[in-house]
Amino acid sequence: MATIRLLVADDHEVIRRGVRSLLGTQPGWEVSGEAATGREAVEKAKQLKPDLVVLDITMPELDGLEATRQILEAVPKTKVLILTMHESEQVMSEVLKAGALGYVLKSDAADNLVPAVKALIHGKPFFTSSVSKMMLKGYLKHSTRSIEDSSSEKQLSSRERLIVQLLVEGKKNKEIATALSISIRTAESHRANIMRKLGLHSIVELVRYAINNKMIES
């Protein structure tokens, strides 16, 4: 199995050291570089081409959001996981719009950082539980207006829209089945129908669709 190469970017050395220590102990993972500024993170991402970048939002020279955009433009196969102290719907929305598929609060890093990296490496989004709750709140707040404004969303049933939310939160078919008291096969069928109706082919595309159609927003 190929080694998973990681880049850690944070302007605080103690945070970088802690993240490196936490991730470096995982079998098959290697922290191949560190960066103390947003611009350095972009340059090192170009040089090292890591599988994943753990990136803070508040960075000198170049903020984490712009660094995320530049990293994904330069190294499209690299995943970006935001590790931050900021907890707000607006910040979360901007992070997703920038292209990052993971959002973990520093206060939750001990429990969530390793699972988050594992999820993103496998192409699945990951959000700290409190962020997931904010996403759900934002979705419920704006879902009625969004459904009226989007012809493609009109094709989705209320249950399918709920399943979209669960999928965007990174839930698996088994977890969706449990949450909705349905069989795994039914959950799989709903997921396939949603993808077909929306013309999408991956969870990454579904996350972006949900953002672009304001199913998730601040």
Residue predicted with more confidence, 86 or 112: 112
174 with 74, same domain: the answer is no
84 with 163, same domain: the answer is no
- Number of structural domains (the chain) is 2
8 with 116, same domain: the answer is yes
117 with 18, same domain: the answer is yes
Q: Which of 85, 112, 127 is the last residue of a domain?
A: 127
Residue predicted with more confidence, 7 or 169: 7
47 with 114, same domain: the answer is yes
Dump pLDDT digits (tens) for 147-174: 444 445 457 777 888 888 888 878 888 9
166 with 82, same domain: the answer is no
89 with 20, same domain: the answer is yes
According to DSSP, the residues that pair with 29 across neighbouring strands are 4
Q: Per the domain annotation, does 218 fall within a domain? A: no
194 with 103, same domain: the answer is no
Is 0.85 topped by the overall pTM?
no
CA Rg value for the chain: 18
What 3 state SS string does the chain have?
Answer: CCCEEEEEECCCHHHHHHHHHHHHCCCCEEEEEEECCHHHHHHHHHHHCCCEEEECCCCCCCCHHHHHHHHHHHCCCCEEEEEECCCCHHHHHHHHHHCCCEEEEHHHHHHHHHHHHHHHHCCCCEECHHHHHHHHHHHHHHHHHHHHHCCCHHHCCHHHHHHHHHHHCCCCHHHHHHHHCCCHHHHHHHHHHHHHHHCCCCHHHHHHHHHHCCCCCC
Q: Per the domain annotation, does 75 fall within a domain? A: yes
56 with 84, same domain: the answer is yes
Q: Per the domain annotation, does 217 fall within a domain? A: no
Domain containing residue 200: CATH number: 3.40.50.2300
Dump pLDDT digits (tens) for 44-83: 999 999 999 999 988 888 888 899 999 999 999 999 999 9
Dump pLDDT digits (tens) for 19-54: 999 998 899 999 999 999 999 999 999 999 999 999
11 with 119, same domain: the answer is yes
Domain, as residue range, for 89:
4-127
Q: Per the domain annotation, does 14 fall within a domain? A: yes
118 with 145, same domain: the answer is no
Orientation of helix 38-48 relative to helix 64-74, angle to 10°: 20
40 with 58, same domain: the answer is yes
